[in-house]
Structure 1
Amino acid sequence: MYNIAIRVDASVQIGIGHVMRCLTLAQMLKQSLDSHIIFVCAEGLPGKVNIAIREAGHDLILISALKSIKVDWNEDARQTIQQLCNYKIHWLIVDHYQLDYRWEQMLKQHVNHILVIDDLANRKHDCTALIDQNLHPAMNERYNKWVPMQCRLFLGPANLLLRSEFAKLRQHRQTVTKFQHILLNFGGSDPTHETKKWLKVLLDYPTIIKQVHLHVVAGPANTEKEVIQQLCMLFPKADYYDQADMAALLLGMDAAIGAGGITMWERCFMGVPSAVISVADNQLESVYEAERLKLIWNLGKSECIEEEKFIGWLKTIMNDLKLLRIYQHRCLNYMSSAQADIHPVVEYIKGEL
């Protein structure tokens, strides 16, 4: 049996996306390898994230290196080594914006290989392989100065980490025939409170909300779930979800409103045309590229979007079904490269064991 450790965190501030993509990779590895997977996370992990890791059959070790929002990388490395010292770790996967080559060099002495999941390209790494699923300008060169020359790179949406359900359900995706079902979701925690903000805006447009059926996913770590649920009750047609099987939900959506990042690519993969609101600076480049390729509508940064722009986009697509279909088919065609039976990273990990 191969031991694979994953160092990742989740909180209201940083969201749960890092853990969710690591859970997806863990699922892929379990399906392809006789593996024992150990998650190492900082204390304060949201309860539902804790449960999700354990229910997936993985071990969970909590460390206390996160004293505030900032991580003490040296103490983090020391505690991680201490917790993993009783295992022979074949691969260590790290998905953490506050850890870099210094942490990785300390861990290298205790593990066979290190895989980094990143999308910032803003710090040095000392790793065997790196995956960045996002689209960026000069994508193939942006990590050259940050990783060792021999590091294997997996770059772009073709390397999207998707649960197997996405590929299965994508086969049943139908061409949009009318504008009715629309998804509103801003990840697992929605730290900028977009869901509440835009629900309140929509309530001022009764003509619009009478024509659409809203599907609102608050996210399991959203601190305003109760408020959002109450707002949904004010709409003539709105379904509230604390959390949802996103692949199954997207299959029935005609359009969506959400953040950038990996959830944007999930929507594209499922052929759901979407308006994107960037809620973090690290989403901007990828959103600009997706806009340039006309895969999404870029409404701008969260703090800069005017109500008129949001409502203007909604009115446009409500009255232009042909445009909606064009974006749908463009998304499906572009993301067709992300449908490999075995993810390239999983194949690489197996080959290096």
Structure 2
Amino acid sequence: MVDRKVAVLRADASGLNGVGHVMRSLALGEALLDAAFDVVLASVDLPAGMREEARKCGITVVDLQCLPFGAADATATLSLNGSVLVVDGYKFEREFFSELENRATSFIVIDDNVETKALAPSVVINQNPHATTEMYAQLSGNPKLLLGLQYALLRREVREATKQSINTVAGKVFVAMGGSDFLNLTGPIVLALKDLDIELCVAVGPTNSQRKQIEDVVQSLPRARVIHQADYITELASSSLAILAAGSSLWEAAALGVPSIGLIVADNQIGASVGAEHCGISLSLDVRSGLHKESIVSNVESLLTTSNGALAKMATATRSEVDEFGSMRALQAIGPNS
């Protein structure tokens, strides 16, 4: 019997830092599973909701019993004996990567804005439209640079939904502020839109501590509902417009043909959100210093006015910019079987 090769994903999630690093690592992990790897998610204090997401993907969670992000973390991660190692997160210290590099370990970094402290990764994946080769000129060892939306890491359920015929519901607006919504924007957005003639579908992330408050707000409105997490993708795919925290959700919506309003909730989302607007698939609004309700309402009203034509133009642009093959392209470029 031939032993299956192991791929290790090193990523964390929390209510404060969000779940995006884990979610896109899992997306790449699903592609590795399809390539006959056993896949392990190595994490510290992984929330229960993310643990369940990994389980649904068929990915094993390993709880690291060490101080995160330093040399001890690297040693614990290497002890899992992965033939492929993927690291996604901004908090990994130089000591973590030094340990990998000193052992001549090949590893993949998933990055957004050159936040990584790695100096010699074998591969860098930056799925964002603003990614350029110049951003990584300081790296040594001539790493493979997999840059741009052609490498968008989409979950299997998104990829499968792109192949289905899902009808768009006119006037349906999807609201999702990421896994944690650490700025507590969901409730205020829903209330801001309550007087519009629209159907509101609201997603509450797995680490969102405000679920009860959001449910109370939504239940007070006649044409609003909180969706089940299992229905997230089908509800998104049938929406006319999505209001999203400006992370990987923008690329999921685009692959499904859904235009979006991307809300910048953290500094590291600026490039991605502005880039998405330049691609014509999203409008970018910066809410880091406060939610401008009037701007959200006016943009939703304008886009849903059919005579405007802007929404249809954005919908046409979405699937030309993002398709379902990003994870597979990345895996082929990484070449783990070579």
Is the pair's TM-score, using the shorter chain for normalization, greater than 0.5?
Answer: yes
- Offset at 1:315? 1.7
- Offset at 1:175? 8.0
Unaligned runs of 5+ in 1: none
2:91 is aligned with 1:105: no
| Code of the aligned partner of 1:54 | R
Quickly say closer, same or farther: Cα 1:113–1:183, change in 2 above 3 A.
Answer: same
2:330 is aligned with 1:345: yes
Distance 1:11 1:174 in 2: 32
- Offset at 1:106? 0.9
> Which aligned runs of 4 or more in structure 1 are off by greater than 6 angstroms?
none
2:154 is aligned with 1:169: no
| Code of the aligned partner of 1:265 | W
The answer to whether the Cα contact below 8 Å between 2:10 and 2:88 also exists between their aligned partners in 1 is yes
Distance 2:177 2:102 in 1: 39
2:88 is aligned with 1:95: yes
2:263 is aligned with 1:272: no
Which of 189, 196, 209 does residue 198 from structure 1 map onto?
189
- Offset at 1:284? 0.5
- Offset at 1:64? 4.1
Quickly say closer, same or farther: Cα 1:63–1:167, change in 2 above 3 A.
Answer: closer
Distance 1:60 1:48 in 2: 12
Number of the residue aligned with 2:233: 247
Quickly say closer, same or farther: Cα 1:88–1:297, change in 2 above 3 A.
Answer: closer
Number of the residue aligned with 1:155: 147
Distance 2:262 2:314 in 1: 13
**C-alpha offsets along residues 119-141 of structure 1, whole Å, 9 cap, x if unaligned?**
121344221111011111x6232
Distance 1:276 1:171 in 2: 24
Quickly say closer, same or farther: Cα 1:309–1:182, change in 2 above 3 A.
Answer: same
| Code of the aligned partner of 2:108 | L
2:9 is aligned with 1:3: no
2:127 is aligned with 1:133: yes
Quickly say closer, same or farther: Cα 1:348–1:306, change in 2 above 3 A.
Answer: closer
Quickly say closer, same or farther: Cα 1:334–1:72, change in 2 above 3 A.
Answer: closer
Q: What are the residue-to-residue correspondences of 1:28-47 with 2, within 5 Å?
A: 28-33=31-36, 35-43=37-45, 45-47=46-48
Q: Percent identity?
A: 25
Distance 1:341 1:267 in 2: 14
Quickly say closer, same or farther: Cα 1:95–1:319, change in 2 above 3 A.
Answer: same
Number of the residue aligned with 1:80: 77
2:268 is aligned with 1:282: yes
Distance 2:326 2:283 in 1: 30
Number of the residue aligned with 1:293: 279
The answer to whether the Cα contact below 8 Å between 2:162 and 2:324 also exists between their aligned partners in 1 is no
- Offset at 1:341? 8.4
Q: Secondary structure in 2 aligned to 1:5?
A: strand
> What is the count of residue pairs matched by the alignment?
333
2:5 is aligned with 1:18: no
Distance 1:23 1:249 in 2: 21
Q: Secondary structure in 2 aligned to 1:142?
A: helix
**C-alpha offsets along residues 201-251 of structure 1, whole Å, 9 cap, x if unaligned?**
234x3xx1xx21111001111101111111111111112125244332222
2:294 is aligned with 1:308: yes
| Code of the aligned partner of 1:94 | V
Distance 1:114 1:101 in 2: 14
**C-alpha offsets along residues 89-141 of structure 1, whole Å, 9 cap, x if unaligned?**
211111111115531231346685211111121344221111011111x6232
Quickly say closer, same or farther: Cα 1:346–1:111, change in 2 above 3 A.
Answer: farther
Quickly say closer, same or farther: Cα 1:164–1:111, change in 2 above 3 A.
Answer: farther
2:211 is aligned with 1:219: no
CA-atom RMSD in angstroms? 2.3
Quickly say closer, same or farther: Cα 1:319–1:90, change in 2 above 3 A.
Answer: same
2:313 is aligned with 1:331: no
Distance 1:260 1:93 in 2: 23
